[in-house]
Amino acid sequence: MTHSLWRSLSTHGILILGTIFMGAPVWIAFMSSTHPADTLIRDGMQYWFGGHLLETYNEVLFVEGGVMKKVTASRMLYNSMILGVGFAVGKVIVSMSAAYAIVYFRFRLATPLFWVIFMTLLLPLEVRIVPSYGVVANLGLLDTHFGLIVPLIASATGTFYFRQYFKSVPEELLEAARLDNAGPVRFLIDILVPLSKTMIAAILIIMFVVGWNQYLWPLLMTTQEENYTIVIGIKQIYQVLSEGGELPQFQKAFALTVLATLPPVAVVLVFQNWFVKGLVESEK
Amino acid sequence: MSTLTLSGVNKRYDNGAHAVRGVDMSIADGELVVFVGPSGCGKSTLLRMVAGLESITEGEVAIDGRRINEISPADRDVAMVFQNYALYPHMTVFRNMAYGLANRGMAKVEIEAKVRETAKMLRIGEFLERRPAQLSGGQRQRVAMGRAIVRSPKLFLFDEPLSNLDAKLRVQMRIEIKRLQRELGVTAIYVTHDQTEAMTLADRLAVINEGRIEQMGSPMELYSDPRTLFVASFIGSPHINLLPARFDQGQLLVGDTTLTGFADLPEGVPLMLGIRPEHLSLSADGTFEMSIDLVEQLGADSMIYGAVSAFSGEEPIELCFRAGEATRHVPGERLKLDFQTDRAMVFRQDNGERLI
Amino acid sequence: MKRVQFERSVVPYLFVAPQILIIAIFFLLPAGQAIYQSFLLEDAFGISSQFVWFRNYEDTILNYEWLGSAGFTIIFSAVVTFLSLAIALLLAVRANEVLHGSNSYKTLLMWAYAVAAPVAGLMGNLMFNPFVGDLYKGMNALGWDFNHKLDAFDASFVVILIAVWKQVSVNFIFFLSGLQGIPKSVLEAATLDCRSPTRRFWSITFPLLAPTTFFLMVINITYAFFETFGIIDTTTRGSPGGATMTLVYKVYTDGFLGADLGGSSAQSVILMIMVLILTVFQFRFIERKVHY
């Protein structure tokens, strides 16, 4: 379709403005993180490189900070990585199994169990946060990786994505497999899983981002600084950085935000196509 | 009055593809011109350039003498029927047809009248309150036509509108389209890759190949007097028999057969002898001998396919012979055939130019 | 459901067990507890509790603060939803049209989805910081006496801006996908029927995007209700004076920081009901509207 010159110009204009709007905060954060503390106090945020990149990031990543002076950014990144990967993998395994059972088996409790799972969609964690904390504390799971990751898997989103996907797989496949004497486990491993590779990849990517970005739950769950994930750590440390000590260390605060953003954004950019596909397919 | 003139029209894409090369034509008021050619030849592109859906790289398109290159599609006063109908899915049939008129500020009462009238003409009056999803392919097709007709445009553009219909419906709709166009007297351009459709619908036909117009004329002109090899083989079903030939010392050599009666042909140049299946006849001492591979009985007619013995060697040359009603010949038989010399054509193989 | 299925007695239960177990322990149990506790009133030391029926609910709903939060949450959600949808739609439409560099634009506009809410909040906070933040200085330079620590409107402005920023990416992705689902020939037919691109957009494109739009509206409202916790906690924390307190944030402050289990449980339950209504609405309304 042809468009007038004016329309093309305004289109590029709008898109460029949009890109600047979306990109500016991270750009500024990154640029500012490469300047020394006094530059920032004196001149405000920076829009270009400041030459202190290695120094600042080195400090942030490897020198202990925080209230108790017990945690480095690299430790927090490590915690976040465990959360992200653990959540993604756990979610995929648990929800894929549940979806498999519901779609491919005829058993008595199928319908009621389906509704139970469905209900979890209605109530995000934020709504039942206080008692959830209570349960986990009583089980002695505070400050543990298990307690951090597993309760998050309670929501049904993954199960629904896989259920939707399995329903779209041609039935003939199962019929052929049964003729070939494949039992349910065989069918799942040899046929269904390889078939679902793209979907699994897409869900893994999305769930990694979701897991990495968890805030409220890790905030409540972790009491020791060494267990902070980067996403909650930046908030706790920000307090210290801006108020404690002589000179507010804004460049470190900026550096922390950049570090917290880098992995999930990198994953999303590198796997862009799978990510978009997973996101769009899932909400049907 | 609506005439269309194309002068030196070219279309080049950013990637260098030259889809339309120097097209010139004039279409008279009320004419139905068909653009026909193989897939990818540029016929749809040319149509879309007239519609305003593709930009014109070079050249001029004019309606009634007025240049329309820079005018937006909605202002060109042309209406188009798309291959997949392109009906607005969220609107009723009535609104689909009324949309163009409403946007032009026509009064509601007038719109209502026009839509109902057109719907009646196309026998879709009972579907006016339905949505496209609730209609069959043929019905949607008629709604698409109704949408075009109701606007009383200067020009109708059809982009392979019948391709998605089943064979029987296609024949029916073809006749209806021709009838409507005659009745309404609106100038029209029709694009198709089906030569039968082209031959039956066209007042004039433009055969397009690789962005160029090979020939333009009435169907019979193109059939009996093709200017190039391409046109000769494209028009006519089943298609023309082509036999590789050479001219040597005043005689035409076709395989191991020598033919007289041809003169003034260039020597030492690969040639092609073209004979239409209906211009061959059985003859006791015929020029060509063929051994039958396949007999097609079509009821009122029959076609016999076989290899010509004049060509021995790796690739057999096939002949198709129109044998008339209920032939009794069978595969394996050998037939001797003769042809009408005055209906035969000779082409150069290199540039397809017709010499005889 | 599938026509062809396995008929095994134990196997499906094994497959479904992990999910159900996790749900039972970490969802049903806390949810049940929340409901139970909403009917209790604890004494000052948390030693004994008393069954008080709906008193907690009454206290909550009639509480001025809670009503203020509810009001703010609703307005906040509406504004954030509207703005992030509008901006995303504009960007998606143009990104869909552009001939050169469309892939670059798409990449550049969609990655923000990966930024966590609190991180976005913190970045925003820094940009509005009186010492370092250009936005803060810029606002004041333009004549707006900007102080988001003291002024309720300014605080809301900051929170809304950050929330919108974060949501635009998701909406953009879905709108773009929706636009690409509209058959090209339908849009071409529209160019022949209608000269103005704006009119074509509102009469053809927008109605055909309706399913996507409704779906996104619900996602956005849910987001504004719940996921903005991270933004608020790293910027205003509900101040000044509860002006930017969303209902979810209130559950957190009352329940966790304030140790008012009964009250915050009641608030939780009310929130649950609100979400329930929203979801039912989504399924009914959208399923009906969608099919052409």
Which subunits have 3 or more CB–CB pairs within 8 Å of chain A?
A: B, C
Phi-psi sector, B352: left (phi>0), alpha (psi -120 to 50), beta? left
- Interface residue A2 vs chain B (CB under 8 A): yes
Contacts of C208 in chain B (CB under 8 A): 89-90
pLDDT band at A67 (very low <50, low <70, confident <90, very high): low
Contacts of B53 in chain A (CB under 8 A): 1-2
Chain A nearest CA to C120, separation (Å): 8
Calpha distance C237→C246 (Å, rounded): 10
Calpha distance B333→B8 (Å, rounded): 53
* Per-residue pLDDT reduced to its tens digit, C156-206: 888 999 999 999 998 999 999 899 889 999 999 999 999 888 899 999 999
Please state which of the ranges A70-79, B100-109, B110-119, C10-19 shows the lowest mean pLDDT.
A70-79
- What's at C288, amino acid-wise? R
H-type alpha helices, A105-222: 110-119, 129-138, 145-149, 157-168, 171-179, 184-186, 193-195, 197-212, 216-221
Q: Is residue B68 in a domain?
A: yes
What 3-state class would DSSP assign to B354?
Answer: strand
Q: How many CB atoms are closer than 10 A to CB C135?
A: 20
Q: Are residues B253 and B217 in the same domain?
A: no
Chain C nearest CA to B75, separation (Å): 7
What 3-state class would DSSP assign to B277?
Answer: helix
- Interface residue B103 vs chain C (CB under 8 A): yes
**Average confidence (pLDDT) over C58-85:** 87
Chain A nearest CA to B77, separation (Å): 17
pLDDT band at C286 (very low <50, low <70, confident <90, very high): low
**Average confidence (pLDDT) over C254-279:** 80
pLDDT band at C280 (very low <50, low <70, confident <90, very high): confident
Given this model, what pLDDT does residue B259 score? 84
Given this model, what pLDDT does residue C292 score? 44
Note whether C114 and A209 are within 8 A (CB).
yes
Calpha distance A71→A64 (Å, rounded): 5
If residue B18 lies in a helix (H) or strand (E), which one and from where to where?
strand B18-27
Q: Are residues B89 and B226 in the same domain?
A: yes
Please state which of the ranges A1-5, B59-63, B274-278 shows the lowest mean pLDDT.
A1-5
The answer to whether the CB atoms of A283 and C252 lie below 8 A apart is no
Most confidently modeled of A94-103, A117-126, A184-193, B184-193? B184-193
Q: Are residues B164 and B45 in the same domain?
A: yes
- Cβ within 8 Å of residue A241, ≥6 positions away: A65, A248, A249, A250, A252, A253
- List the domain range (segments joined by +) for residue B325: 242-348
Burial class (CB in 10 A: 0-12, 13-18, 19+), C131: middle
- Angstrom distances, CA of residue B304 to CA of A145, B273, B321, B327: 81, 19, 5, 9
Please calculate the CA angle B307-B308-B310 and round it to the nearest 5 degrees.
Answer: 145
Given this model, what pLDDT does residue C1 score? 47
Q: Are residues B23 and B53 in the same domain?
A: yes
Calpha distance B238→B339 (Å, rounded): 17
Given this model, what pLDDT does residue C287 score? 61
Contacts of A280 in chain C (CB under 8 A): 173-174, 177
Q: Is the pLDDT at A2 greater than 80, yes or no?
A: no
- Answer with the residue of higher pLDDT: B9 or A138: B9
Q: How many CB atoms are closer than 10 A to CB A124?
A: 21
Q: Is the pLDDT at A233 greater than 90, yes or no?
A: no
Of all residues in chain C, the one with the smallest CA distance to A282 is C174
Given this model, what pLDDT does residue B181 score? 92
The answer to whether the CB atoms of C186 and B75 lie below 8 A apart is no
Question: What residue spans define the domains of chain A?
Answer: 64-282
Average pLDDT, chain C: 83
Q: Are residues B274 and B300 in the same domain?
A: yes
Please state which of the ranges A6-10, A118-122, B33-37, B181-185 shows the lowest mean pLDDT.
A118-122
Q: Are residues B56 and B107 in the same domain?
A: yes
> Which of B233, B253, B268 is where one domain is finished?
B233
Task: Say which residue the tokens 């879709």 belong to.
Answer: B124
Q: Is the pLDDT at A154 greater than 70, yes or no?
A: yes
Strand B212-217 and strand B204-209: pairing? antiparallel
Q: How many domains, in total, are found in chain B?
A: 2
Cα Dmax for chain C: 76
Q: Which CATH number covers residue B185?
A: 3.40.50.300
Question: What residue spans define the domains of chain C?
Answer: 57-290
Q: Are residues B133 and B279 in the same domain?
A: no
Calpha distance C237→B293 (Å, rounded): 89
* Per-residue pLDDT reduced to its tens digit, A73-117: 788 888 899 999 999 999 999 999 998 888 888 888 888 888 888
Given this model, what pLDDT does residue A131 score? 82
Q: Are residues B108 and B145 in the same domain?
A: yes
| Strand partners of residue B189 | B33, B157
Q: Is residue B16 in a domain?
A: yes
The answer to whether the CB atoms of A128 and C126 lie below 8 A apart is no
**Average confidence (pLDDT) over B131-156:** 93
Note whether C89 and C171 are within 8 A (CB).
yes
- Angstrom distances, CA of residue C58 to CA of C36, C61, C67, C73: 16, 5, 12, 19
Chain C residues in contact with chain B using a Cβ-Cβ cutoff of 8 Å: 183, 185-186, 188-196, 199, 203-204, 207-208, 210, 291-292
Calpha distance B166→B138 (Å, rounded): 9
- Cβ within 8 Å of residue A168, ≥6 positions away: none
**If we measure between CA atoms, which residue out of A14, B87, B106, B150 comes closest to residue C204?**
B87
Given this model, what pLDDT does residue C160 score? 92
Q: Is the pLDDT at C2 greater than 60, yes or no?
A: no
Given this model, what pLDDT does residue C80 score? 94
CA terminus-to-terminus distance, chain A: 30
**What is C57-290's CATH number?**
1.10.3720.10
Q: How many CB atoms are closer than 10 A to CB B237?
A: 11
Of all residues in chain A, the one with the smallest CA distance to B73 is A2
Note whether A121 and A157 are within 8 A (CB).
yes
What is the side-by-side strand order in the sheet with B204-209? B78-81, B155-159, B187-192, B32-36, B204-209, B212-217
Q: Are residues B216 and B254 in the same domain?
A: no
Chain C nearest CA to B88, separation (Å): 6
- Total-model pTM: 0.82
Architecture (CATH level 2) of domain A64-282: Orthogonal Bundle (1.10)
The answer to whether the CB atoms of A261 and C115 lie below 8 A apart is yes
CA terminus-to-terminus distance, chain B: 40
Q: How many CB pairs under 8 A join A and B?
A: 5
Q: How many CB pairs under 8 A join B and C?
A: 64
Calpha distance B82→B159 (Å, rounded): 5
Query: B63: which 2 tokens?
Result: 């309606």
